Amino acid sequence: MQTLLDVILPVFLVIGFGYASVWRKLFPVAGIDGVMRFTQNFAIPCLLFQAIAKLDLNSSFDPALLGSFYAGAGICFFTGMFGARALFGRAWEDCVVIGFCSLFSNSVLLGLPIAERAYGSAALTSNFAIVAIHSPFCYGLGITVMEITRNRGQSASVMARAVGRAMFRNALVLAIGLGFVINLSGIWIPMVVDDALSLIARAALPAALFALGGVLFQYRPEGDSRVIAMICAIVLVLHPTLVWVFGTAQNLSTDGFRAGVLTAAMAPGFNAYIFANMYGCAKRVAASSVLIATGVSVITVWVWLTLLETI
């Protein structure tokens, strides 16, 4: 219970504050959209750029950690996609979006602040390693499968161009890529620039959590309850269970194991809705899944944190 009070509830109270502010018309919807654009396009990219630029790549990128996390994520993607087709008869384009909802855990807006409160900022190295390839992997897989689905019969070059355009318009992907360039090249970031980036980065997580609450109010659930329940089960139970099994089999370090399981236990990120909106498919399912899974995760994340205390 103390973990719930000390670690999880403060994060969700910020989300709830954003939700209530829009609900009671204390903060305009247009303002929430602006805060979300600021966090998604500027503050979080600055945070990720700094983290990747300063990361010790030799010690941080544990193949066992990344293999455990992303093998589980890939299994969840295809479980959600084929489950939507076999169980609910959804169109293939909708199935890909549902698979993406099952794939894209909220590694930044929820994963980082909860992990920081649980284990301290010094323990976030493994989290940043996961985050570093999260957007490229998830968007790469989702966009590739969607473009293959939508362009059945088209040439490989047409599909490759569509995938490339979608990937390299994503601010998170660009920030992560630039961070790797700085890190690998050894280019020194001037202190005045680094301090400015730090000022912006410090606003990233609290502003993003507040904005997430406001966004969730706008997309209240309607219908599709069985599909949403399937997504919640895959994201909140199946993915962390798979990472637990794979991580145990590969003898992950304690920090890596906790980071992998806890990040996998996060609800779908708002990028699930962005992906659905990008293709105009299953938007209601995506938005409702983000909202409901985020609420349910208050309890499920507590359970996973309690289990991780035994590690």
How many residues make up the chain in this entry?
A: 311
pLDDT tens digits along 104-129: 998 887 888 889 888 888 788 899 88
Q: Report residue 5's pLDDT band, with 50, 70 and 90 as the boundaries.
A: low
Please check whether residue 143 lies inside any domain of the structure.
yes
| CA dist., res. 243 & res. 230, Å (int) | 19
- Mean residue pLDDT across the chain: 87
| CA dist., res. 52 & res. 75, Å (int) | 27
Instruction: Map 275-290 to HEC letters.
Output: HHHHHCCCHHHHHHHH
| CA dist., res. 23 & res. 247, Å (int) | 41
The pLDDT score that the predictor gives to residue 156 is: 66
The pLDDT score that the predictor gives to residue 160 is: 72
Other CB atoms within 10 A of residue 171 CB: 15
Other CB atoms within 10 A of residue 288 CB: 24
Please check whether residue 196 lies inside any domain of the structure.
no
Please check whether residue 120 lies inside any domain of the structure.
yes
As a whole-number percent, the residues of the chain with pLDDT over 70 amount to 91
The pLDDT score that the predictor gives to residue 3 is: 54
The DSSP secondary structure of the chain, one letter per residue, reads -HHIIIIIHHHHHHHHHHHHHHHTTSS-HHHHHHHHHHIIIIIHHHHHHHHHHH--HHHH--HHHHHHHHHHHHHHHHHHHHHHHHHH---HHHHHHHHHHHH-B-IIIIIHHHHHHHH-GGG-HHHHHHHHHHHHHHHHHHHHHHHHHHTTTS-HHHHHHHHHHHHTT-HHHHHHHHHHHHHHHTPPPPHHHHHHHHHHHHTHHHHHHHHHHHHHHHT---S-HHHHHHHHHIIIIIHHHHHHHHHHHTT--HHHHHHHHHHHTSPBPTHHHHHHHHHTSSHHHHHHHHHHHHHHHHHHHHHHHHHHTT-
Please check whether residue 25 lies inside any domain of the structure.
no
Which of 148-152, 174-178, 197-201 is the least confident region? 148-152
pLDDT at 96 over 90: yes
The pLDDT score that the predictor gives to residue 224 is: 84
Please check whether residue 205 lies inside any domain of the structure.
no
Global pTM value = 0.80
The pLDDT score that the predictor gives to residue 6 is: 66
Enclosing domain of residue 107: 50-187+223-308
Please check whether residue 9 lies inside any domain of the structure.
no
pLDDT tens digits along 190-242: 999 999 999 999 988 888 888 878 877 876 666 689 999 999 999 999 999 99
Please check whether residue 246 lies inside any domain of the structure.
yes
The pLDDT score that the predictor gives to residue 59 is: 63
Please check whether residue 212 lies inside any domain of the structure.
no
pLDDT tens digits along 28-73: 988 988 998 898 789 988 988 998 888 777 766 789 999 999 999 9
Q: Report residue 167's pLDDT band, with 50, 70 and 90 as the boundaries.
A: low
Instruction: Tell me how many domains the chain contains.
Output: 1
